[in-house]
């Protein structure tokens, strides 16, 4: 699964987006419309140039398939951070301190948020995004499709 997601992230092959989005939909409870009010993709790093935003693209498809509203550009990564891949859990937490913020809190206030990310390694990105979202949302649930093969849960 991780290799498939990385292939999509690197290539942007449209059929892969739809296939991966279907896999997300299969992993999310069928009652998604009743359980979540809004879908929020994990934002990418502003300093890394990307042709497209794979997590955001998948979140759009999940929103369309589920009928759940999507919030794009409200949760942002406000600063460029070093790459997480070579860091241990504690270093990752420190690396992401203060990295995320909500621009329009009123758009998620009291809502049940479904946070979408692609690969779970140590959970630090989801944790930091959730902390920011929980200041305003009534609840935050996160879903990823893959776990990294080099998980370090210190």
Q: Where are the domains of the chain?
A: 2-147
Give per-residue pLDDT as tens, 46-82.
877 666 788 898 899 899 888 999 999 999 999 888 7
Provide the pLDDT for residue 9: 72
Provide the pLDDT for residue 154: 37
Provide the pLDDT for residue 33: 67
Q: 128: phi > 0 → left, psi -120 to 50 → alpha, else beta; which?
A: alpha
Hey, CA dihedral for 109, 123, 48, 20, is it positive or negative?
negative
d(CA 143, CA 109): 20
**pLDDT range class, residue 151, cuts 50, 70, 90:** very low
Give per-residue pLDDT as tens, 74-113.
999 998 887 776 777 788 888 888 999 999 999 999 999 9
| CATH class, 2-147 region | alpha beta
Per cent of the chain over pLDDT 90 is 38
d(CA 114, CA 117): 10
First to last CA, the chain: 24
Asked whether residue 30 carries a pLDDT value surpassing 70, the answer given is no
Task: Count the neighbouring beta carbons within 10 Å of the beta carbon of residue 67.
Answer: 8
**pLDDT range class, residue 18, cuts 50, 70, 90:** confident
d(CA 130, CA 153): 18
For residue 6, give the nearest of 149, 123, 114 by alpha carbon: 149
Provide the pLDDT for residue 49: 66
Asked whether residue 29 carries a pLDDT value surpassing 60, the answer given is yes
């Amino acid at each position: 699964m991780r290799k498939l997601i990385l292939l999509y992230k690197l290539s942007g092959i449209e059929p892969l987006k739809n296939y991966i989005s279907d896999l997300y939909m299969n992993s999310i409870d069928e009652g998604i419309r009743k359980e979540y009010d809004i879908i929020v993709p994990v934002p990418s790093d502003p300093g890394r140039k990307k042709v497209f935003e794979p997590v955001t693209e998948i979140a759009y498809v999940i929103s369309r398939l589920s009928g759940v509203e999507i919030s794009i550009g409200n949760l942002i990564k406000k600063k460029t951070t070093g790459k997480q891949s070579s860091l241990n859990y504690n270093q990752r937490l420190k690396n992401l301190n203060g990295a995320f913020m909500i621009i329009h809190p009123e758009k998620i206030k009291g809502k049940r948020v479904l946070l979408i990310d692609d690969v779970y390694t140590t959970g630090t990105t989801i944790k930091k995004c959730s902390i920011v979202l929980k200041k305003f949302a009534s609840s935050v649930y996160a879903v990823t499709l893959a776990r990294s093969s080099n998980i370090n849960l210190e």
